[in-house]
Amino acid sequence: MMVESVGRRARFYKWLAGGWLLVFLLVFLLGSLPAWAAMISTEKEIEIGRSSSQKIEARYGLYRDAEANRRIQALGRLLVKNTSRGLTYHFKILNQDIVNAFAFPGGYIYLTKGIYKAMKTRELAFVLGHEITHVEKRHSVKEMERALMTQLGGGILVGLLGGDHSQRRKLSTLVGMTDFVMGNRYSQSQEKEADEGGMILMTRAGFDPQYAVEALQVLKQNDKGQEDSQFVNSLLSSHPLTSDRIEAAQGRVEGLRQEWGVAPGSAPKV
């Protein structure tokens, strides 16, 4: 009996030590994510964005109007002059009548035919700036890295508990990452950051930031709570365009005008 009791106690202490080790590893890996989790390189990011763009174009097709595409690409180039990541951006119009826009990692930006026709060029400057900011801030990439870290932590847990290592997580593959990007939603804080960045980009390009407010108002009028699975990570998805976002944009107009020396009503010719 004495030997059996000692054996149980030893197993208990071994289990306790393993548990504390697991806690330490998970806290270290997940808690230190911002410091070292640039797990997805720029090259991989571009590859994921290219794969996502091929999927969305195959499903919906592109709007082939030559003048529309010329205008959007010229507007995009004007805005990208004030970015810092050095990516090659691609601006395209999807042949869809709904009012929406979205960005894939690596610089793949899409407007729908619906939003192109619903807005003036000066308002689209904000929309493109908003989507460019998502890419510049690596919003989708950060969510993928966070998911990969969670996966890594889960793998450690499986290993310590003697689980099956044979199952490969889908997110580890390019296909899985592409599906993740196309099915993920931006957080409200990321949308607000993209609003701010979009206003800055358009103002630096010479557009009156008041046009951002007008663009947001157009979006609000067209927010029908769209839930199409291929338009999840977009301007109009799970986060309704609330009045506080419009009010926040309005509150930034005068400050941005003064900061960048842009007069009311300014809009460079595109």
Residue 199 has pLDDT above 70, yes or no: yes
Instruction: Please choose, from the candidates 253, 240, 254, 241, the residue with its C-alpha nearest in 3D space to the C-alpha of residue 213.
Output: 253
Q: How far apart are CA 183 and CA 229, in angstroms?
A: 7
Buried b (16+ CB within 10 A) or exposed e, 183-200: ebebeeebbbbbbbbbbb
Q: How far apart are CA 155 and CA 151, in angstroms?
A: 6
Give the pLDDT confidence of 15-63 residue by residue, as tens digits.
444 444 444 444 444 444 444 445 788 999 999 899 989 999 999 999 9
User: Residue 173 has what pLDDT?
Assistant: 65
Q: How far apart are CA 102 and CA 118, in angstroms?
A: 16
Strand ranges of the sheet holding 108-112, from the earlier edge strand across to the other edge: 90-94, 108-112, 101-104
Long-range contacts of 228-231 (CB under 8 A, 24+ apart): 228/98, 229/182, 229/183, 230/56, 230/59, 230/60, 230/182, 231/98, 231/100, 231/102
Give the pLDDT confidence of 160-195 residue by residue, as tens digits.
434 444 434 445 566 666 666 666 778 888 889 999
Q: How far apart are CA 157 and CA 162, in angstroms?
A: 8
Highest mean pLDDT among 151-160, 211-220, 231-240: 211-220
Give the pLDDT confidence of 67-94 residue by residue, as tens digits.
999 999 999 999 999 999 999 999 999 9
User: Residue 163 has what pLDDT?
Assistant: 45
Mean pLDDT within 203-216: 97
Distances (CA, A) of 65 to 6, 74, 113, 117: 80, 14, 10, 12
Q: How far apart are CA 87 and CA 216, in angstroms?
A: 26
Residue 141 has pLDDT above 80, yes or no: yes
**What is the distance, to the nearest Å, from the Cα of residue 66 to the centroid of all Cα atoms in its chain?**
28
What torsion, rounded to 10 degrees, do the Cα atoms 218, 219, 220, 224 define? Answer: 120
Instruction: Please choose, from the candidates 62, 78, 68, 24, the residue with its C-alpha nearest in 3D space to the C-alpha of residue 206.
Output: 78
Judging by DSSP bridges, how do beta strands 101-104 and 108-112 pair with one another?
antiparallel
Please tell me the least confidently modeled range out of 103-117, 145-159, 246-260.
Answer: 145-159
231: helix, strand or coil: helix
User: Residue 237 has what pLDDT?
Assistant: 55
